[in-house]
A and B are shown apart, each in its own frame.
Chain A
Amino acid sequence: MSATTVTPAALKGDTPISLRAHLRHTGALIRRNLLWIRQDPESMFDAILFPVIFTLLFVYVFGGSIGQSLGGGQDQYVQYVIPGLLAMMGMNMAQGVGTGFNTDFNSGVMDRFRSLPIGRGSVLFAKIAVELMRMMFATAVLLVVALLVGYDVHSWSGLLGAVGLSAVFGSALMWVFLTLGVVMKSAQSVQAMGFLVLMPLQFGSSIFAPTKSMPGWLQAFTDYNPLSALADCARGLMEGGAVARPLWVTLIWSVGLTAVMAPVAIHKFRTKS
């Protein structure tokens, strides 16, 4: 065929995108996602309501009786559950990221982004950065509520460490949910999927209650549930207790999930037609 007319004169392969350009693109997209929040402040409701509702619900509904089994009362349960809720904050923001991204992805604007000379990860990195900001906001709300229901901060540095760990684990989960957001057809199915997967993981863990009183088969599950390690580690950091083992388990899960799911998410984002 007329290959001579088709072949470009200078075929030098493709030019790579520099790190600075990557940061610039991600920054511009972060600005976009922050403007969304300004345009639609209601999207922050979950970040405010979730910590408030969960704290009040667990402390006042279950707190008395679980506290008794801990050998104290509601006060003792507050010290138990707040580190758990703090550890959960990252994953709760992660759950929403897939839903939002699915809606975003199905709008025409993604085609425009994908036809621009930007790194394919930029759109996803920006999304994660903004969700982490939302998580920090939700964590601040949680702390205020925690202090109001009588939580005693034993170690501020431990608390900061727990927040950091929650963010690390949360962003690892965000890659999972971003992948679901790209792959699944509707925002509703992403939400349903997130709920179905996270719900048993959250309650089948040491986040809300000690696992000692659970039946053996469930304990076997909770022992291997990364969310237990995450909650135990936060508790160790904030209240004292073993930290090393749960820290390693949480970090290994976080790094593993990110190493596997980040390339999958970016690949799916790049190739989705």
Chain B
Amino acid sequence: MTRIDDTPAGGSHAVTVRGLVKHYGETKALDGVDLDVRQGTVMGVLGPNGAGKTTLVRILSTLITPDAGEAVVAGYDVVRQPRQLRRVIGLTGQYASVDEKLPGWENLYLIGRLLDLPRKDARARADELLERFSLTEAAKRPASTYSGGMRRRLDLAASMIGRPAVLYLDEPTTGLDPRTRNEVWAEVKAMVGDGVTVLLTTQYMEEAEQLASELTVVDRGKVIAKGGIEELKARVGGRTLRVRPLDPLELRPLAGMLDELGITGLASTTVDDQTGTLLVPILSDEQLTAVVGAVTARGITLSAITTELPSLDEVFLSLTGHRASAPQDPTPADTREEVAV
């Protein structure tokens, strides 16, 4: 965090965006976006494909220029001071942006040299980051031989070479399996622990909850909601508790009992006969405890109990009244399935 104080602006916001606009022909990729990210925090930008998340990251990392609006990152204007800004940001793109033909170590050494580290320092930094991201053993192998998770870790390491004050993570776990996703999350959490400010874009509420302290929800180039994670979770109806009694005959009496007690969230309890589970909306950990307490008091044996976050689609439904969709952008079939469950 001291790093940011070295930059001209100081202040409490590492990223300030006002009225950012970017049009591609008729498509309004960004249509007047405002955003503030406090220093040392993780801001999650949640939205479906085509919402403008990547356009925002590309503008903030100086890859494209906005049509209108202003953005200041770590004290530097993205349009007028791109070179200075590039020194203090790190970028991890949607698709791992490492040179697949180069060995892991060479990838990091190259970035170090391009960031003007002396040879010795670039070597040391490459060794250090490979060690930290558990890639030392694969250091000499071309990145093309890496697994998906290793490639993302190398990508994260590459974005950390210059000790950035602000780090952009553009959908860092899209396309990864759950185990690898957890690995990447753990790395990101460790990086945040070091005091870096992170702007994270994601399609997953779960990822936002894991990593971000604040959330901005975007749709079709506009911000449709912003606030703390807990606050937004409460607004979209919190979590869903799935309870499966051992005896399916207990389902309906249990549902009736919970509704009568009135300890659950806004929506009413629903029964899913196919899986033999009860879906209980909850808004807080207290409600969760109360439900479990009530079930125990009744002496019902449970075979399964899990909590689920609302999907992106449910978040959108409750915030905007329409489903998460990307009407203008052609959406790849695989990601569309994830969005519109």
B-binding segment of A14-22, A221-229, A230-238, A256-264: A14-22
Chain A positions 1 through 20: 1 when the CB is less than 8 Å from some CB of chain B, otherwise 0 = 11101111111111111000
Partner of A35, one of B61, B77, B102: B102
Interface size for chain B: under 10, 10 to 19, 20 to 34, or 35 or more residues? 35 or more
The verdict on B91 contacting chain A, using a C-beta distance below 8 Å, is: yes
Interface size for chain A: under 10, 10 to 19, 20 to 34, or 35 or more residues? 35 or more
The verdict on A129 contacting chain B, using a C-beta distance below 8 Å, is: no
Contacts of A96-146 to chain B: CB distance below 8 A:
107-109, 111-118
Also in contact, A14 and B81, with CB within 8 A (given A9-B9, A24-B113)? yes
Contacts of A24 in B (CB 8 A): 113, 116
Contacts of B98 in A (CB 8 A): 108-109, 112
- Interchain nearest-CB distance for B144 vs A (Å): 9
Contacts of B323 in A (CB 8 A): none
Also in contact, A108 and B114, with CB within 8 A (given A6-B72, A15-B84, A116-B86)? no
Check if A107 sits within 8 Å of B91, measured CB to CB.
Answer: no
B-binding segment of A25-33, A157-165, A167-175: A25-33
Within the assembled complex, what's the spacing in Å between the Cα atoms of A31 and B112?
Answer: 13
Contacts of B88-105 to chain A: CB distance below 8 A:
89, 91, 93-103
Q: Which residue of B has the minimal Cβ distance to A108? A: B97
Contacts of B101-127 to chain A: CB distance below 8 A:
101-103, 106, 110-111, 113-116
Check if B115 sits within 8 Å of A117, measured CB to CB.
Answer: yes
Chain A positions 179 through 213: 1 when the CB is less than 8 Å from some CB of chain B, otherwise 0 = 00000000000000000000000000000000000
Partner of A7, one of B72, B111, B113: B72
Q: Which residue of A has the minimal Cβ distance to B79? A: A14
Contacts of A1 in B (CB 8 A): 18-19
Within the assembled complex, what's the spacing in Å between the Cα atoms of A157 and B16?
Answer: 63
Contacts of B8 in A (CB 8 A): 8-10
The verdict on B245 contacting chain A, using a C-beta distance below 8 Å, is: no
The verdict on B158 contacting chain A, using a C-beta distance below 8 Å, is: yes
Interface CB pairs A-B, < 8 A, 16? A3-B70, A5-B13, A14-B81, A14-B83, A17-B83, A24-B113, A28-B113, A29-B114, A35-B106, A36-B101, A36-B102, A39-B142, A107-B99, A109-B98, A111-B91, A117-B115
| Nearest 8 interchain pairs by C-beta | A108-B97, A28-B113, A10-B8, A117-B86, A273-B64, A112-B97, A115-B61, A9-B8
